[in-house]
Each structure stands twice: as structure tokens, then as C-alpha cells.
A and B are shown apart, each in its own frame.
Chain A
Amino acid sequence: MSFGYNGRILRVDLSRGEVTVEDVREAFFRTYFGGRGFIVHRLLNDVPRGADALSEENRLVFATGVFTGSGLAGSGRNSVGAKSPLTNAYGEAEAGGFWGAELKRTGYDAIVVEGKAAHPVYLSILGDEVQMRDARHLWGMTTGESCAAITREIGDARVRLAQIGPAGENLARLASIINDLKHAAGRTGLGAVMGSKNLKAIAVRGPKGPPMADAKKVQSFVKWFGAAYIELSGGLHDVGTSDGVLYFARNGGLPTRNFREGTFTGAENISGERMRDTILVGRGSCFACPVCCKREVKVNGRYDVDPSYGGPEYETLAALGSNCGVDDLEAVAKANELCNAYGLDTIGTGATIAFAMECFENGLITEKETGGLRLTFGNAKAMVTMVEAIARRQGIGEILAEGTLRAAREIGKGAERFAMQIKGQELPMHEPRLKPGMGIGYAISPTGAEHMMSIHDDIYKKAGADLDKVRTLGVLAPIPQKHLGPEKLRLMVYLSHWQSFLNCIDMCFFMPYGFDQVLEMVRAITGWNCSLWELLKVGERATTLTRVFNLREGLTADDDRLPERMFTGQPSGPLADGALKEEAVKSAIQTYFDMMGWDTATGAPGRGKLEELGIGWAAECLR
């Protein structure tokens, strides 16, 4: 009997119109745990080396983890992965909401999609009944429109959807996959992979999740968190992740005008407090989570914003707000709504519009290319217009839909210096000059610039709850914020194993659970006699396999680099002297490689490391 997982993977071959079920053994689950672990294993084994990310050869994997659907707060999450069309490297993104938990109730742990349908289709998985249904009439619809249509066709309002909008259909490399209408698997362009397969949506509804080994114990954690979450979750309930806007603005770390600056005079206008006091109409949640950190905003007037598409989170407020020089909260709310309706990554889209604005201000593109639009920093209306243009690939949106790296190559004239990207993926909204360890994480992340593989340097600079947590891993003393020495890298290595593990079990990163609590939860769900050491190894195993995937696809240590701009100071403010030192960054990356058991020059995991992680089979991929 299996606890916490179904032991079944659904394989969908869209070219042949065939659906098969693969049984998975316990040893496999206990080695990879789900999420990232499953995805990278599957991509290495199924996707031929050098495959075009938008071709039939690519696989699109939707995976849950053993935590998903357990009923614990933070268990609504799922991972999606494929070779990324944005980076040509390992692609993965996580989405919250309810879809992951519902998939688990259908009796499957993961779905592997291969091939390409002859015409647009959607999948409906209602328990054991799996159907490929015609989606020709849905192609071109926003996520809201297709959600309404599919729900009607299936005749069950409780069905959950993972879907693409017009951006994914148009193969925009910034396209996301949206769970229902507002929970995005935003990064690495996975919406374009789904579009390339002619797959509009996957609808799921199931009767019952797998049993848990010690349901009573799981329930006691649910009860405890229900009573304690307000105290434990700080301002997340009240103002959501947007609490970060003012904090970063004060510290010089709020990306402003394409990362040229870090303080923004309009920060107050796009802050979490301002949103709460003006346009917020509800606090949304994910499956079984009382924290409700998600925002629901409504605007009528200059823009009309529908609250069913949620509301902007910190990353979105910075990417489409300050980073574009925009302090018009209603315009940012509109742009966020459009991103969710069209299926676009808000981070990549905001960063790409900011890039275009800098190109415009420097005369690299003109009103001729923008169709008369004055694409200047701070032009809120132009920012909103560009979101639509990118999703529909209209006008200059045609090249911007490709992301900053490809757009810069197309524009030429040295535009690459304005492209704030790593491996082709745009920087998230955590300023590396404020958090250098975060910057190292951006550089080495297998998915390109990514903040979910990194540490927040500031929270370990002095004694407090965060340091207390990592003391249990043996990191005993505070580490200065700007420090990039071995002490910082050691902390990074430990925490990146942990974060990777969380993406294997698909637990929300915001849960204020301690390491030991998560261990207890995993033991109660699965019945396995796990140790914290084993869980960290699961995370390390998955991270190492993503590295193997990228090396196999031809990426090198040279791709682990930060944009030039990070090696200059900001013009004024707290980070005027904050330029990172190129040598220090290089040396930190090498130290990280060394600590990981990877070659310090190439970043290739050594044979011994692969064997130690029980993945000696992956050595073959490095030949």
C-alpha cells in the first residue's frame, strides 16, 4: 500500500491520440519524491539531446509531490517542466492554487505530455475517465473565456484547469501556464511549449486523494497552523508579498527603470498598503491555506480590472511598476489582469517592456517600430498596451514576445547591454547588488535568473528567527549581507538543497514551518522513516540532475553570469557604492561548484558525486 502518492503517471501522446498509464514503484518515489525530481528525471530520459523546445520531441510534464493535496497549508502546489524555449535549458515553474491537489485526487501523480495534436485539444481527466476533446472553438480565447466554456462543457463547476491563453498559442517565449485564472506557472516559457503541442487546457476533477500513513498526525498539524498562522505569517495576510515594495525601495533594492536605479519616488503609490486601502476587494488563497496571501483587486474607470484574475504580487508590482518607472497602481493592476488573461509571465513581461523602454529612450527603437507609441519610462498607458502587443505578437510585440535576449539580438546596435537576463530568462525583482548571494543564485540557477533557488542575504545578517532556523543545519553565526565568502556559499548550498526539496514535494515556499516540522509531516504522510539528511539529499539530487541536463544541452559555466549592469553602482541612493565585483562573483560561483562536488572550471558534477547521490546513470548524459 502506498501512502501520499498514487503510484501512477498518465502518459498522453498527442500525436497518436493515445493515453497510457505507467505504474511507478515506491523506490522511485522515495528517490525523487515528485515535482522537480520527477520532471528532471523524465526530461533526461525522454527528451533527445538538442531537441527543439517547441517541437514534438519536447515533453511537457505536470507533476505533484508527496505533500500535494495532503490538506496541510501550502499543499495546493504543482510543478510544470519541459526543455525551455526561453533558455534552451532546463525549464520549470511552480504554480499554487487548487489544480495540483485536484490532479492528485484523479488517481495520478503526474502527467507527461508528448507529441503534438493535429488541431487544438484539451484534456479532461475526470477520475479514471481521460478524454482528448476538441478545443478548436477555444483557441484564441482568454483564460477566463476558455475556463467558462470548458466548465460548461464538462458540466461541473468544481473542475480545475491548467491552461494557456493567446500568448501560449502564439508561442510567445514569455508565456505562462495559468491554474484556473490567477495562479501562474510563470517562468521559463512553458506556456509556449503547451501551445506548440496544440494543448489548450487540462481539466481535472477526482474523487479522492491517496491515503496518508498517519492522517491523525497530519490533522494535528493542520489544526495547529489554523490557530497560529496569523502570528507566524507576519504581514502576508494583511498586505501579501507586496510588503516588499517599501522595504526594498528604502534599501535601494526596488528595481527601477530596468535596474538602473533602486529607489523609486513612486513606491508609496504601488505599495501593499496602498493596494489594501484602495483597490483590494479580497484576499485569495490556495488549497487548504488559511494565510490568503493572494490579492484580488477591482478597478472601474480609466481601466476595468476583473478581480477573478487576482491581483499583483510583489514581483508584478516591481516588474510592471517601478521597473518600468510606472507608479500608477491601477495600470499595474490592469497589466497583471491582462497577463493572467493572456497567459504571460508578469516578471518576464515587465522586464521585457522595461528593456524596450530603455532601448526607446536611447534611440535603438523609435516611434516607427512602436507604431507611434512613446515607449518611455513612466508611461503607464504604453506599458499596458505593450502587454497586449506581446501576447498577440502585434507590432513590436512580435519581437518582444521572444524575451529580452532574442529581442536584443534582433534590435542590434548593442541592445544586449539593456537585456537584464541570464541564460535568456529575465531577472526577478530582487536586486543582486542588495543581495549578492541572491545574485549568485540567479547566475547558477538551471532555469536562468530565478529567485526560488537563491537566498535572501539580508535575513541572515543578524540574530533572529531565520538564523535560529539555519543553526539547526550547523550555520551558527550571522553572515554579513554583502559577504560572498565560503560561509555564505555554505549556507546557500544547504538552503538550495532544501528549496529544491520543497519543489520536489511541491510545498509553498511561504510556509513558516521548521525543517523538523516538514520532516515530521513527510513521515506522517508517507510512513517512510525519513531523516532530514535524506530530504536534503533528495533536493541535492534533483539540483544536480538539472545541472546535468543543461550540460547535456550544451550550456557551459560561461552561461552562469550576471548582467554587466550589476558590476556598476546605482546613480544615487543606498546602493550608489553597491557595484558587485566581477572577480568576487566568479570566485563565489567556483566555491559553490566545489562545495557541490562539481568541477570548478566546467561546473560538471563528478562521477563520484553522481554515484553518491544514487544517480550514476546520469553520467551517460555527460558523454
Chain B
Amino acid sequence: MPLRIRLHGNLRKYLGGRQEPISLDVAVSFPLRYILSQLGVPEGEVWTFSVNGGLADATTEVVSGDEIDLFGPVAGGSLNPAQ
């Protein structure tokens, strides 16, 4: 089973207009940081890492079948109402 990765909020821009989750086939486990580099998502832009519904961070190891959610800053919409 491939890894399933979803990008939320401002991170959507790294999806290049796609809506469906990204699938990545991985044979061994990797830290999330490595996945980010594969997707071209700067680590500093990720505000919440989540694996299988729980909180994680850039060093969390992921294996095939994991479901990953990456969020930019979210304020209830995707924008900061204060801006």
C-alpha cells in the first residue's frame, strides 16, 4: 500500500492544481522530512504534521500505508482574518 499524503491550506499550492491525495510507493520507512523534500514543500511552511490522525513532526518515521496530513497556518478559513 502506498503512502497517502494530503496538503491543506496554503500548502495546496504545491499540489499544482490537483485535488486528489498524493500517493508515494515506499519500500522502507522514512522520516517525514524526506517526504517533504521529495514533494518540494519547505519544512518551515508546515505548521502541523499529522500521521494516521495523530500529531507528528518532521522526524516522525512513516511507512507504507500511512496517511499523512500536512497543514499550513489555518485560521478557520485558510486565511488569517487579521491580514
Which residues of A does B touch, CB under 8 Å?
231, 233-236, 238, 240-241, 243-244, 246-251, 263, 273, 276-277, 293, 314-315, 429-430, 451-452, 455-456, 458-459, 462-466, 469-470, 495, 498-499, 509-514, 574
Contact = CB atoms under 8 A, between A and B. Distances in A.
B83 A574 contact: no
B34 interface: no
Q: Output the residue of A462, A464, A469, A495 with the most chain B CB within 10 A.
A: A464
Contact of A231 (B13, B69, B73): B13
A452 B81 CA distance: 8
B79 A234 contact: yes
Contacts of A240: 77
A282 to B, nearest CB: 16
A470 B72 CA distance: 18
A41 B81 CA distance: 25
B82 interface: yes
B64 interface: no
B53 interface: yes
A293 B55 contact: no
A235 B53 CA distance: 20
Contact of B9 (A243, A470, A498): A243
Interface in B36-83: 44-45, 47-48, 50, 53-55, 69, 71-83
B29 interface: no
Contacts of A574: 55
Mostly helix, strand, loop or mixed at chain A's interface?
Answer: helix
A243 B78 contact: yes
Nearest to A515: B83
A456 B82 contact: yes
Nearest to B15: A238
B4 interface: no
B33 interface: no
Contacts of B19: 238, 276-277
A263 B74 CA distance: 16
Interface string B1-22: 0000010111011000001000
Given A243-B9, A459-B73, A510 B47 contact: no
A315 B9 CA distance: 17
A512 B75 CA distance: 12
Contact of A236 (B13, B69, B78): B78
B10 A514 contact: no
Nearest to A574: B55
Nearest to A242: B77
Q: Output the residue of B54, B71, B83 with the most chain A CB within 10 A.
A: B83
B72 A234 contact: yes
Contacts of A238: 12, 19
Contacts of B74: 243-244, 247-248, 458
Q: Output the residue of B19, B71, B78, B80 with the most chain A CB within 10 A.
A: B78
B81 A234 contact: no
B77 A293 contact: yes
Nearest to A430: B76
